[in-house]
Structure 1
Amino acid sequence: MSFSNFEKRGIKSSNKNKSGMRVFLYIIIAILVCIAAALASYKYMLMPVNASNKQEQLVTIPQGSSVGDIASIFKKQKLIKNTEVFKVYVKLHNNASLKAGNYNFSQNQGVSTIVKHLQTGGKYQVAVKDLTIPEGTQLVEIAGIIAKEFKLDEATVLKQLNDKAFIQTLQKKYPDLITNEIFKKGIRYPLEGYLYPSTYLYGEFKPSLEEIIAPMLNQTKSILDKYKNEMTDKKLTPHKTLTMASLIEEEANELTDRKLISSVFYNRLDIDMPLQTDPTVLYALGKHKARVLYKDLEIESPYNTYYIKGLPIGPIASAGVESIEAALKPAKSDYLYFLANKEGEVIFTKSLEEHNTEKDKHIN
């Protein structure tokens, strides 16, 4: 082969290398342009919706809201440009969790300002109206509290809380929490036990009933989500978990070890012994009494644990997190009985004989 042929080959190879380099450079430039455009778009989405609009509007972040829920609230009120960018920013700047409450925000505030205020809370929060649901409160009582606080008709509130169509709209929003177990024959109030007891803040003086109870359902869902593994291990649905928790809540007091009470209930279930807890009798009767009589124990109701074996058909009150945890993490014990003395101390015993002895000492 002549030198000129080698030279021609070298020139062709060189041209190919140059062409390849140009393609590579074009690709790099295109990638850099895309990255620059994405960064520019990201920065734009973080900017205020309207830099000239300083008019404040009230934003309510319910307890138990996820970052996605919060992003949707701000997008609905036209205070951010993009929900996904908001969530990405929070993930990248997650120095502290976003706090529930009422806030004043305006369209001239960017995402960084909004997130900072939500993470700080405190001085940025605005208290407008609060509603307190004590632990152990029953649905009828909750309806009364809501009616009184928001100046509504109590009967109308209770009717809507038991309306099947209304509850079915809630099921679509909380499919894993509110299942068809609440519609079993014999259930008195479908949402009994589902409205978490706590103090809630509201940004509107006349919110809808759904807006009033949404943070309560959010909180219940948020707490149960933390105990998914425990519910799976015990083969308990959210409904049965809330049912067991409500029994513990109604039997407990400030001096009581809820986990020991829980152990008594599980020990009884393990040997196919009725739970025989008085609060279920009172719930079945539909009234409060200072003392349960022997004739009361005979009421034929799917709530009466003297009449049925196993858990009652549904919750009998709204339980707090301590009772929910006790329902899923009972203590280990051999106790089958307990009673409270006049000082409120709970005495646990292993046999009926021991129980009756303690009962003679402290009750009779």
Structure 2
Amino acid sequence: MKTKLLLLVLLLFFGWLVGREWWWRDHGPSVPPVIFVIDDGASVSDIADDLETRDIIGSSFLFKVYVKLTARARKLQAGEFELSEGMNASSVLSVITNAQANEISLTFVEGWTIAQMSAYLAEEGVVSSSDWMTSATHDLEGYLFPDTYRFLKGVTAQEIVSRMREEMEEKINAEMRAEMERQGKSLHDVLTMASIIEREVRHDEDRELVSDVFWKRLAIGMPLQADSTVNYITRKKTPSISFDDREINSPYNTYKYRGLPPGPISAPGLASIQAAIFPRSNPYYFFLTDEEGNAHYARTLDEHNVNKARELK
């Protein structure tokens, strides 16, 4: 009899705890919110312990049981969440399994310069242009991988730069690095070439062909004559450059100076980086891109001039 009574008391007590955690614990809107951060890779146990320590929930054990019973462990999101002390487990779980969380999504377009990224971030109200240009210095042009990223609100310019640099390091895998070493090309040279390819052609099938054209020109001492490098100086967006622009005295002017420019002129995407490392052999030394973005190739200058007369009217 005593055993049954004890079991009944324990069962009632456990039921009270569960009810307290799942339904009755919320203190209502009068309780000020707190910012709760879940790091990438945090386990259910880590999250539950932290919630209990912050007095957001009353029992980490019951929270873990609830997560297990609802099979929502995989839906837990990393991010920054607005919670309140004294919330019940059900309410907390509803918030932290919301993919929107307190985050922002930023998309950096392939071919953008650091200056264009600065304008975008300022327009989005994420960081000021001055803060961005302080962290994203000129020597990082081409080293920030363009992609869509998710950050916590309040992210700093330095945090964005660090994440983009890390992503670039990860994208250039061991096979790519081995091939660069075999060819005797530095990462700087490859990213510089990739950045030019990114701005010169739009379609992936052209990137490898144009890469071969440019590397062959360098091999024979022929100027790259890439309009995109001159536009990097002038900040113009025209598909072709003027005769006056060709005379600009800058090491980025690949009409006036042979070889690669001092560094990248944009943020190259993965397809352009791969093309710079793995060019597709072809017989061409000239090409142009028409208004629709189609590339037209030529073996000789005469053929190239015919293409210009026909395609660039």
TM-score tier, shorter chain, comes to 0.5 to 0.7
1:224 to 162, 166, 172: 172
Q: Give the match's secondary structure for 1:190.
A: helix
User: Does residue 190 of the first structure (1) align with residue 139 of the second (2)?
Assistant: yes
Shift of 1:60: 5.2
1:139, 1:344 → 2: CA distance? Answer: 24
Structure 2 matches for 1:79-118, cutoff 5 A? 103=78
Deviations 1:145-200 (A, max 9, x none): 222334432233223423xxxxxxxxxxxxxxxxxxxxxxxxxx211111111000
CA contact (8 A) 1:103 1:126 kept: no
TM-score when scaled to structure 2? 0.68
Matched, 1:276 2:251: no
**Residue matched to 1:251:** 200
Does the alignment pair 1:157 with 2:132? yes
Distance 1:336-1:305 versus aligned 2 partners, 3 A rule: same
1:213 and 1:234 map into 2 onto residues whose CA distance is: 29
Is the contact between residue 131 and residue 201 of structure 1 (CA under 8 Å) also seen in structure 2? yes
Matched, 1:130 2:109: no
CA gap 1:287/1:342 in 2 versus in 1, 3 angstroms: closer
Partner of 1:113: none
User: What is the correspondence of 1:255-270 to structure 2 with a 5 Å cutoff?
Assistant: 256-270=205-219
Contact 1:224–1:238 at 8 Å: present in 2 too? no
Task: Pick from 139, 162, 165 the counterpart of residue 214 of structure 1.
Answer: 162
Instruction: Verify the 8 A CA contact 2:230 2:246 in the aligned structure 1.
Output: yes
Q: Distance in 2 between the 1:289 and 1:359 partners?
A: 16
Q: How does 1:291-302 map to 2 (within 5 A)?
A: 291-302=240-251
What CA distance in whole angstroms lies between the structure 1 residues aligned with 2:35 and 2:230?
52
Identity %: 34
Indicate yes or no: 2:234 matched with 1:285. Answer: yes
SS of the residue 2:256 aligns to: coil
Report if aligned partners of 1:150, 1:206 keep a CA contact under 8 Å in 2: no
Q: How far apart are the structure 1 equivalents of 2:119 and 2:106?
A: 12
What is the SS of the residue equivalent to 2:124? Answer: helix
CA RMSD, 1 decimal: 2.9
Task: Provide closer, same or farther for how the CA distance between residues 102 and 238 of structure 1 changes in structure 2, counting only shifts above 3 A.
Answer: farther
Equivalent residues in 2 for 1:1-364 (5 A)?
57-59=36-38, 61=40, 103=78, 125-126=99-100, 128-162=103-137, 189-203=138-152, 205-226=153-174, 227-254=176-203, 256-289=205-238, 291-364=240-313
Secondary structure of the equivalent of 1:258?
helix
| Structure 1 position 267, deviation (Å) | 1.3
Where 2:143 maps in the other structure, the secondary structure is coil
Q: Secondary structure at the match of 2:233?
A: helix
Rg comparison, structure with higher value? 1
Q: What amino acid is the match of 1:207?
A: V
Q: CA deviation at 1:291?
A: 3.8
Instruction: Summarize deviations over 1:99-156 as a string: whole Å, max 9, x none.
Output: 9x952699xxxxxxxxxxxxxxxx7855521100010000001112222334432233
Taking structure 1 as the reference length, the TM-score comes to 0.59
Go from structure 1 to structure 2 and tell me whether the alpha carbon gap of 1:159 and 1:312 turns closer, same or farther (over 3 Å shift): same
Unaligned runs of 5+ in 2: 1-33, 51-73, 82-96
Matched residue, 1:82? none
Question: For the structure 1 residues 353 and 290, does the alpha-carbon distance in structure 2 shift closer, same or farther, using more than 3 Å as the test?
Answer: closer
Cα 1:277–1:147 change in 2 (3 A) is same
Amino acid at match of 2:131: T
1:20 corresponding residue in structure 2: none
> What SS class does the counterpart of residue 309 from structure 1 fall into?
coil
Q: How many residues align?
A: 235
Query: Structure 1's 333 and 208: CA in aligned 2 closer, same or farther, altered over 3 A?
Result: same
Per the alignment, residue 9 of structure 1 pairs with none
Q: Give the Å deviation of 1:318.
A: 0.2
CA distance in 2, matches of 1:151, 1:341: 36
